[in-house]
Amino acid sequence: MVIKCLEDYDAISSHAADIVAAAIIEKPSGVFGFATGSTPVGLYKSLIARYQRGEISFSRLTTMNLDEYVGLSADHEQSYRFFMQRHLFGHVDVRPECIYFPPESGEPSAFDDLIQSKGGIELQILGLGSNGHIGFNEPGSAFDSRTRVVGLASSTIRDNARFFEHSRDVPHQAVTMGIRTILEARQILLLASGANKSDAVVRSLEGPQTENVPGSCLQSHHNVTVLLDDAAAAGLTRNEK
């Protein structure tokens, strides 16, 4: 695991874009796993700029999103399909038929089979919840879990309420890649910013590996890069400037 502490959110976003762009150039027809939430927005903005400069193309990529709320239509402003269209897909040359989200109906675990049928994920982008969740794998999620519908922790519902007009509108369920699904990616890029993530960062990266801290599963992966700002990294005993 490589842990890098950078000056601020903009530096995280720029460095993350360097990593993702290099991976796209190396594997232009690869499968890439994308995440939502406020943390990767700067990364996506930087990727759009690189696309507009002709440095990268998404035209041959297949994309697999990490998760989606249950019960929100694709055109709902807080759905993750809408988020990705607004912040990335609507600004680059990715083919609509090559964009995938985990299904909330049918058999969600079939999403894992789809990923493998496409060759597996080259690079998975992750954020980190304040309770240590990755995707919507809340504390207590099994490390061998697969894509499934899950209930959201009260802390996650509170954290996400800021995106909705009324807190009562926040969905209480989501469909998410499982932890085992995530760990099957060949490369993982974890981003965390802000003092409110510092405790989760310490517990995920330097604490014991436990299902009570889903992010701690990343300690067992062979190719993880973690990008943090000073505030998120404040409690760590090790990092690379």
d(CA 76, CA 85): 11
Phi and psi torsions of 192, nearest 5°: -150, 135
d(CA 157, CA 58): 33
| Cβ neighbours around 66 below 10 Å, total | 27
Residue 91 CB contacts under 8 Å (≥ 6 apart), including other chains: 48, 51, 52
- Which positions are catalytic? 67, 131, 133, 138
Apex 41 CA angle, 51 and 63, nearest 5: 60
- 12 half-sphere exposure, CB direction, 13 A CA radius: 29
Q: Contact at 8 Å (CB) between 74 and 82?
A: yes
Q: Contact at 8 Å (CB) between 75 and 82?
A: yes
Task: At 151, list the tokens.
Answer: 């209930």
d(CA 119, CA 33): 12
Query: Distances in Å between the alpha carbon of 25 and those of 17, 54, 72, 230?
Result: 12, 12, 34, 30
Residues in the chain: 241
